[in-house]
Amino acid sequence: MGEVRELGGAKVLVLGEEGGPVLTDRDASDLVGLAMEAGAEWVAAPVARLGPAFFDLSTRIAGETIQKLVNYRIRLAVVGDLTAEIAASKALHDFVYESNKGRHVWFVADLGDLTSRLNTPH
């Protein structure tokens, strides 16, 4: 599950490390349901909760999950260190770079980083 926090003026569903990784369309739907039930604008998901397949862009799990969230006007913050994964994949590097320039998906080091970004006008 997770807990709802007010971060940088936004209502954020902060997921815990416990729980299975996001692997299927059903998992993405569950995230949408949790966020909507909580009235959250954002889901902050730890890297460990998403699992390695999420960051292997060839699986399409990340794209499908993000699309489902965006369709319901829910934004995603991926929280944690992806240094090794980004170094090993140019596609992931580019995806993270482009995502962080946008407004729907951010990759952040920690919740403090997310709070700072939410406090910055876009």
Instruction: State the Cα–Cα distance between residues 61 and 7, nearest whole angstrom.
Output: 27
Confirm whether pTM is higher than 0.75.
Answer: yes
Tens digit of each residue's pLDDT (9 = 90 or more) over 80-121? 999 999 999 999 999 999 999 999 999 999 999 999 999 987
Average pLDDT over every residue of 63-76: 95
Cα-Cα-Cα-Cα dihedral sign, residues 100, 103, 106, 110: positive
User: What is the dihedral sign for C-alpha 26, 44, 88, 67?
Assistant: positive
